[in-house]
Amino acid sequence: MDLLRSLPIGLYIEKPFSWLHQLDPRVKLAWLMSLILSPLLSSAPWRLFLVAFLLLITWLSFIPWRVQKKQITWLLLFSFFVILLTAIAPDGLVINYQPRLPESEITINQPTDYQYILYEFNNFKITRRSLDLGIKVGTLLFTLIYSSNLYLLTTAPEEITAGIEDLLVPLKRLKLPITEVILTLTLSLRFIPLVLEEIQNLIRSIRTRAIKWKKLGIKKSISIWVIVMEKLLENILLRAEQIAIAMEARGFTTPNEHQVQWHQLSIKNNDIIALFMLLIFWGGRLTLG
């Protein structure tokens, strides 16, 4: 089990260097926030369009399928089961009220193909409202998780923090510690692979010992996993302490004494095209979504 290869959550992929990698991090951040905010108060067809749009962007960015295969598959399956469970769940409109007045004998039922209950089997019902709610919830989860992960896959942590710091420059007038926050964010993003590596090493060490879990029982199995979690926490804290010592040795004491220009930001032609497409995206959201 190789977590760094089979499930690259939040990891930056350097190669292949696609057009998505070349975009300015501020432009990609604007697209990310648009993909996160546009599903709010939108219709189910628009949310389905966002899922298809993200899959299309992934295909056009030429990210290797071996990198995204497990992630996309599991995320699509999870979203599908969320849609299914929400669709068969009660929609909250199951109470039949007694009419205040008797039905009129003159009323003639008009022919129509409309059906509120789309499918019914024993106690399970799929109604229009429950299906619409299921599509909205499932597609929202897919959009939020996958768009954020796609942004992290194609943007280096230094580029992310440089873009955010550039956008937060006006807040420095309020004497907010922007530089310290950005440095902390950079270290957090760079710390994710270290945590995954520690988890991976512990899982490998347990597998090499060929522990027979069925013979141990529940109590002993839980005690072993508690020991593993303690060891994981100890290793993570040790890595954090080593990083702190290395930073202090290199002069990272205050922002005024040691400043690092993480990334040179510049708007290019591709960024202008991406911003223009973003305007079209929001135009479609406001008119059709």
144: which 2 tokens?
Answer: 């939020």
The full DSSP string for 45-60 is HHHHHHHHHHHHHHHH
Question: Is a pLDDT exceeding 80 seen at residue 260?
Answer: no
Q: List pLDDT tens digits, range 180-218.
A: 787 788 788 778 778 888 888 888 888 887 777 777 778
Q: What is the mean pLDDT of the chain?
A: 80
Q: How would residue 107 be classed by pLDDT, with cut points 50, 70 and 90?
A: low
Question: Is a pLDDT exceeding 60 seen at residue 115?
Answer: yes
pTM equals: 0.75
Q: Where are the domains of the chain?
A: 1-92+116-156+268-289, 179-262
Q: Would you state the pLDDT for residue 180?
A: 78
Q: Would you state the pLDDT for residue 174?
A: 83
Residues in the chain: 289
Q: Would you state the pLDDT for residue 58?
A: 87
Q: List pLDDT tens digits, range 141-176.
A: 999 988 988 888 888 888 888 888 888 888 878 888
CA dihedral 196, 200, 203, 207 (to 10 degrees): 170
Output 59-64 pairs: Cβ under 8 A, ≥24 positions apart: 60/19, 61/18, 61/19, 61/20, 61/154, 62/16, 62/18, 63/13, 63/16, 63/18, 63/153, 63/154, 64/16
Residue type, 264: Q
Instruction: Please give the Cα distance from 140 to 152 (Å, whole number).
Output: 19
Q: Give mean pLDDT, residues 54-77.
A: 83
Between 149 and 68, the higher pLDDT residue: 149
Between 275 and 203, the higher pLDDT residue: 275
Question: Is a pLDDT exceeding 50 seen at residue 42?
Answer: yes
Question: Is a pLDDT exceeding 70 seen at residue 89?
Answer: yes
Question: What percent of the chain has a predicted confidence (pLDDT) above 90?
Answer: 8
Instruction: Please give the Cα distance from 201 to 57 (Å, whole number).
Output: 34
Q: Would you state the pLDDT for residue 1?
A: 47
